[in-house]
């Protein structure tokens, strides 16, 4: 048995008093010694947590024992090290920030794209009238995506609703959406249906489940994940690398954060350039006084960012409005 496991899951299911739920849930996770990131909203749960196999098992049993989350599907990965350094469980307005003015308009529990299991997705994806749509952001699809997928030039899923307008020409085709673990597709496909796309499907369980059940066939590059691993390989049938080093253009799947914490750019860089630039995106960042020490991974524990007056005043304003 592996030393640790990392779980990825979501569940769209109404939660009353979600803020209180988030607090209690955090305590519970801490009591099990789990590390990770969980988002709780009135619409459900979304999380990635890492811990010992025993802790993970206890966690999954606890979640499944709650009738609201009985149908939650966990994607379980064996890992050598814990994938997080802290345990966060936070309340937010949505479990995936879609930026829809009225998130209630889109309710995956009421209407969403037809779920395709990995094997069915594989069988269908190359048919003539099918379009594979990647609903993820640039930094994700840059490092890996399905062969022939339509990708969107977005920095955040929030921008997805705007981008749908550019997809008008695909109306009439079968749209197969996919994302990392399936959670974004629940909303993305729901939105496509609302916008008049008629035949909309979604890859159930996302790329991660597709990697386990369809061996990742025709997925080019690696899958971006939201933890210390940064990317994970999913394709054991016909793997390729699609991303290139920002500095020299060589093929690489290694993603790092710029060692200059003020820049912190998230990009692909090959090992040679990494050592050459000491983990920075540029010479300017390399000589920055606050530059962090590069250990070859390009991953840094989050450091407090310099005070951003604008952000703080916005936050204060938000609080005032809430009260
Ligand atoms: Zn390079
Ligand atoms: Zn930089």
Q: In b/e form, how buried is each residue of 146-176, taking b as 16+ CB within 10 angstroms?
A: beebbbbebeebeebbeebeebeeeeebbbb
* Higher pLDDT pick, 31 / 1: 31
pLDDT above 80: residue 320: no
* Mean pLDDT, the chain, whole residue set: 91
* Residue 303 confidence (pLDDT) above 70: no
- Measure 287 CA to ligand 2 centroid, in angstroms: 10
Query: Locate tokens 């109306």: which residue?
Result: 171
pLDDT in tens, 75-125: 999 999 999 999 999 999 999 988 775 656 788 888 999 999 999 999 999
**Nearest ligand (C-alpha, residue 243):** 1
Kindly identify the ligand whose nearest atom is closest to the C-alpha of 286: 2
pLDDT reading at 232 higher than 80: yes
Distance 163 CA to ligand 2 centre (A): 28
pLDDT over threshold 60, residue 240: yes
Strand 75-79 and strand 266-268: the pairing is: unpaired
Is the model more confident about 309 or about 21? 21
262 Cα–ligand 2 center, Å: 8
The pLDDT of residue 110? 87
- The ligand whose atoms approach the alpha carbon of 247 most closely is 1
Ligand 1 centre to CA of 237 (Å) is 27
> Residue 120: CB partners within 8 Å, gap ≥ 6?
none
Confidence of residue 302 (pLDDT cuts 50, 70, 90): low
Chain segment 146-201, per-residue pLDDT in tens: 999 999 999 999 999 999 999 999 999 999 999 999 999 999 999 999 999 999 99
Assess whether pLDDT exceeds 90 at residue 61: yes
Count CB-CB contacts under 10 A for residue 310. 7
Query: Once rounded to an integer, what is the mean pLDDT over residues 250-260?
Result: 92
Using an 8 Å Cβ cutoff, are 21 and 15 in contact? yes
Rounded distance from Cα 293 to ligand 1 centre (Å): 19
pLDDT at 1: 67
Q: Is 9 helix (H, G, I), strand (E, B) or coil?
A: strand
Taking a 5 Å cut-off on Cβ, the residues next to ion ligand 1 are: 245, 247-248, 250, 270, 273
Q: What pTM was estimated for this model as a whole?
A: 0.82
Catalytic residues: 179
Tens digit of each residue's pLDDT (9 = 90 or more) over 11-53? 999 999 999 999 999 999 999 999 999 999 999 999 999 999 9
């Amino acid at each position: 048995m592996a030393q640790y496991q990392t779980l990825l899951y979501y569940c769209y299911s109404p939660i009353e008093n979600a803020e209180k739920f988030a607090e209690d849930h955090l305590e519970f996770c801490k009591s099990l010694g789990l590390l990770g990131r969980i988002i709780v909203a009135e619409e459900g749960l979304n999380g990635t947590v890492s811990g010992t196999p025993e802790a993970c098992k206890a966690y999954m049993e606890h979640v499944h024992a709650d009738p609201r989350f009985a149908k939650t599907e966990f994607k379980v990965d064996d890992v050598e090290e814990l994938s997080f350094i802290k345990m966060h469980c936070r309340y937010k307005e949505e479990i995936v920030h879609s930026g829809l003015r009225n998130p209630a308009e889109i309710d995956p529990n009421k209407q969403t794209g037809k779920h395709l299991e990995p094997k069915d997705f594989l069988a269908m994806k190359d048919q003539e009238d099918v379009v594979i749509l990647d609903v993820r952001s640039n930094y994700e699809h840059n490092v890996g995506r399905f062969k022939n997928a339509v990708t969107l030039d977005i920095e955040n899923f929030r921008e997805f609703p705007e981008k749908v307008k550019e997809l008008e020409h695909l109306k009439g085709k079968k749209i197969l959406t996919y994302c990392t673990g399936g959670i974004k597709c629940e909303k993305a496909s729901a939105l496509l249906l609302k916008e008049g796309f008629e035949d909309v499907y979604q890859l159930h369980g996302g790329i991660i489940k597709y990697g386990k059940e369809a061996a990742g066939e025709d997925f080019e590059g690696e899958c971006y994940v939201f933890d210390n691993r940064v990317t994970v390989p999913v394709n054991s049938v016909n793997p390729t690398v699609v991303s290139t080093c920002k500095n020299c253009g060589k093929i690489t799947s290694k993603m790092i954060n710029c060692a200059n914490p003020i820049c912190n750019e998230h990009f692909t860089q090959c090992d040679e350039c990494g050592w050459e630039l000491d983990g920075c995106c540029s010479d300017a960042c390399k000589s920055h006084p606050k530059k962090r020490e590069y250990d070859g991974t390009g991953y840094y524990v989050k450091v407090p960012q310099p005070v951003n007056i604008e952000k703080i005043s916005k936050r204060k304003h938000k609080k005032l409005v809430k009260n």
